[in-house]
Amino acid sequence: MTKNIQNNLAILLALIVGLSFVYFNYMLAPLNARYKDNLSKLQTVESKLAETKHKAMELPKLQLGMKNLENEVADLEQLLPREKEIPGLLRTVTKTAQKYQLKISNITPGNITAQTNYNEIPFQMTIQGTYHSLAYFLNEIGQESRILSVKNINFTGSTPTKENNNTITVTCTLIAYTFKG
């Protein structure tokens, strides 16, 4: 080979190496960087998609749990209502007393006592009737759907007459509760 051909081959080789360097550094390297960036973004989106699908699969279970909790809250609000509902309470007490032939001669509301999570609404009551009727009455009041309690029960005995069959007079405090929240 002649020197001229060797020079031409060296120039051609240098030109190929130079063009390859330019191609890899200025054309292929940015494409490779964008590819890696897009691949990273794709993996992030796929992981978020998988997480979202997992959460979506749990949604019916969470909705069922939420419905159960709402039902439980509704049941608890019957036991411990948010409102005083005094007229309904008085109707219940009066009807229960009539059911057991008791005479309520006095119902006096007292001052509301605030507790940590609830309020106590006291009512001073005077009830006349028989001992067993009073026991049935107190039992039914204790079984009401609303939480009620009877405290400070004082018994006074009496002799029944033809006009008045009552054998006992009771003074007590009926306490109704309301939710504070």
pLDDT band at 137 (very low <50, low <70, confident <90, very high): very high
Helix ranges (H only) for the chain are 3-22, 29-79, 86-99, 131-142
Total domain count, the chain: 2
Of 11-20, 149-158, 168-177, where does mean pLDDT reach its minimum?
11-20
The verdict on 90 and 171 lying in the same domain is yes
The verdict on 95 and 10 lying in the same domain is no
The verdict on 64 and 138 lying in the same domain is no
pLDDT at position 142 over 70: yes
Instruction: State the pLDDT at residue 124.
Output: 95
pLDDT, greater one: 167 or 78:
167
The verdict on 134 and 174 lying in the same domain is yes
The verdict on 94 and 168 lying in the same domain is yes
Closest CA to 45 of 60, 34, 37, 32: 37
CATH code of the domain covering residue 140: 3.30.70.60
The verdict on 73 and 131 lying in the same domain is no
The verdict on 14 and 69 lying in the same domain is yes
Instruction: State the pLDDT at residue 175.
Output: 92
- Domain end among 23, 47, 79: 79
The verdict on 39 and 117 lying in the same domain is no
Domain with 136, as residue range(s), is 86-179
The verdict on 92 and 175 lying in the same domain is yes
Tell me the whole-structure pTM to 2 decimals. Answer: 0.58
Instruction: State the pLDDT at residue 152.
Output: 92
- Domain end among 31, 58, 79: 79
pLDDT in tens, 62-120: 888 899 888 887 777 776 666 777 888 889 899 999 999 999 998 999 898 888 888 88
Instruction: State the pLDDT at residue 80.
Output: 65
- Domain end among 37, 58, 79: 79
The verdict on 1 and 44 lying in the same domain is yes
What b-and-e string marks burial along 61-98, b requiring 16 or more CB atoms within 10 Å of the CB? eeeeeeeeeeeeeeeeeeebbeeeeeeebbebbeebbe
Q: Average pLDDT of the chain?
A: 84
The verdict on 146 and 71 lying in the same domain is no
Instruction: State the pLDDT at residue 181.
Output: 66
The verdict on 93 and 154 lying in the same domain is yes
Instruction: State the pLDDT at residue 140.
Output: 92
pLDDT at position 148 over 90: no
